[in-house]
Structure 1
């Protein structure tokens, strides 16, 4: 089996600005890119006044993960991976 076909896991922290609170950003990672998404932590105000923060674990094959990350970057969302977050 090729290494790109191997199921991988990637942890990211994602900031979702209030302008995107009504957009199904995480849902698109699942439906459009075939990723399994586990929300490991989240901060989102009940009144959606400020930005939301999500710690996500993405599972899929490497091309799926890379395409999902490209989608998030295309939306100009801030994304940090586990190598840049000290408390992981």
Structure 2
């Protein structure tokens, strides 16, 4: 039986537009939502021009993960989770 403190992993693909390059988006997932974030892949344009793409593995409780995903959606960032993109 799972408790509220059970850690789970969730893999997402996140697009960060160039307007957010100076914002600590990924850092806030750690500091504000208590998630462990592993960047498994990333693609950024030269001199951070253009959008950045991050393949992230999030670890935390279900509540922490859902709160972190809500934060990303509130910023209107594009987020694909592992249930929608199995062929990354």
Give the TM-score band, short-chain normalised. Answer: over 0.9
Using structure 2 for the length normalisation, give the TM-score: 0.94
Q: Distance in 2 between matches of 1:2 and 1:84?
A: 24
Unmatched runs of 5 consecutive residues or more in structure 1: none
Q: Distance in 2 between matches of 1:80 and 1:4?
A: 24
Aligned to 1:46: 46
Note the 1:1-88 alignment, pairs <5 A. 2-88=2-88
1:17-61 per-position Cα deviation (integer Å, ceiling 9, x unaligned): 000001000000000000000000000123111100000000000
Q: In structure 2, the residue corresponding to 1:3 is in which secondary structure?
A: coil
Aligned length: 88
RMSD: 1.2
SS class of match (2:79): strand
Q: Which range is displaced more, 31-40 or 45-54?
A: 45-54
